Structure 1
């Protein structure tokens, strides 16, 4: 969940990285009393995300800067649309400009990409879901952007659920214990509120996993025919997640196999930032001089 406290913490770090001792250029060139008005304008169509993050970049730089966001997160926009407006001391506006843009461009890029995936699975029951393949330190931002695009979030962190993959199972069964017995032991030690998901990469692994009463089975890198067979075999006894080789070209066919969830790291790890621009107009104060 993207909270105001988390936004301020991450944006503050970004601002400190970009101007650790202030913005030397703006402080040198711009009069102290100069006021700037800027407009966030879309240079291509997309889905908006990150309005609160964009505003925080300016507010945390100079609390006198006023930001009005005209487009809600999750709202589609066209080329040329004005998405937000900024007014305040020019030095602060120009200092915060790049950080505000970096965040909102990336978040809107993720939201727009997610919306394309969601559109491809329309008419199916499948949810489009992200993964932990996010930029370190920016997971909450990027996952909020996925929600803005109509997608859903997988577990937020390693602390949120048990998700046993092939390497976990290899270690777990190294002593000769069966997968079913190993998972039953795991289940017996979990709270009733803790979700248990297991990854399989072959059809014959499904029944032993189901016998342990898992909540979700991830069918990893299955062909379309294998996905259909897996859905039929599981028959509602667990949530079915498909993962691996999920692209815009394949996601629709994957969803139509009957799976409940399609997870894709491409929503966040290889997305292109959207082209948004901040057009600035300086309103000079004739009495102001540089200091």
Structure 2
């Protein structure tokens, strides 16, 4: 996984690029009718139900735009919210509040939707030892926000990107000439480059599970698109030699059944690619 320092750089990059995109050479609507010296206060109003996420990010945005803006937090990230709740107040320069508004809302609405969906899946897994993972199926440019939201919702992050973990999927295996060759070449590569990266290998059937188990150094086996019976058999074959992860079209109706097969993780792209934004607004008070 990426370090906290790398993650913070990602967040700063998202903010600077989003402000560049949205503000350009100036928020001329505000500049045209609001004096530079004007101050005001606004509230983040919840108009929906779910798990709130992005409050800490909003503070980063306000600070980036204007260090003089002050935020009074009433509800913390990860809390359940309902229609009419006020998450925070922000006060200071009216121009700065308006310059920050759209980025704060866009980010928080999406992050809250992801946190809410993740929390729903987490609750479906309650009582099992299985944890829910996200994937790289994220919105380009804001992956850090979406993975942050998964954590807020109670889920866990898979690899952040291509550079922080080795994941040998079907195409890698086929292009490399098979599972054993793919693993051997990967291990040579890691030794030659001095990299310490965990290796995940995808299996498409039980025979591939058996072949993967002949190689040492595999951190986790991805049990992809297996039915329940074969998933249970795969877990039995693996027998704790490495971690297990189920994936492939698993939804709210099937996730519990896969967890009860004994896998350590279930990964779902739906956490980040199939959500409806939470309704939030920033209102002057």
Equivalent residue, structure 2, for 1:83: 87
SS of 1:190's equivalent in the other structure is helix
Equivalent residue, structure 1, for 2:114: 110
Q: Whose helix fraction is larger, Structure 1's or Structure 2's?
A: 2
Residue 228 to residue 54, structure 1, CA distance change in 2 (3 Å): same
Q: Does 1:215 align with 2:237?
A: no
Equivalent residue, structure 1, for 2:64: 60
Aligned alpha-carbon RMSD (Å):
1.9
Residue 3 to residue 198, structure 1, CA distance change in 2 (3 Å): closer
TM-score normalized with structure 1 length: 0.89
Equivalent residue, structure 2, for 1:196: 199
Please show how residues 205-244 of structure 1 align to structure 2 within 5 Å: 205-213=208-216, 214-244=218-248
CA positional deviation for 1:182: 4.6
Compare 54-63 and 17-26 and name the one that shifted more.
Answer: 54-63
Larger radius of gyration: 1
* Count, aligned residues: 277
Higher relative contact order (CA 8 A, sep 6+): 1
The C-alpha deviation readout for 1:36-57, integer Å capped at 9, x for no partner, is 2111121122212212221222
Query: Residues of 2 paired with 1:109 and 1:183: CA distance?
Result: 38
Please show how residues 91-240 of structure 1 align to structure 2 within 5 Å: 91-173=95-177, 179-180=179-180, 182-190=182-190, 193-213=196-216, 214-240=218-244
CA positional deviation for 1:77: 2.3
The unaligned stretches of length 5 or more in structure 2 are none
Equivalent residue, structure 2, for 1:36: 40
Residue 273 to residue 212, structure 1, CA distance change in 2 (3 Å): same
Residue 113 to residue 68, structure 1, CA distance change in 2 (3 Å): same
Contact 1:181-1:212 within 8 A present in 2 as well: no
CA positional deviation for 1:7: 2.6
Please show how residues 250-289 of structure 1 align to structure 2 within 5 Å: 250-281=254-285
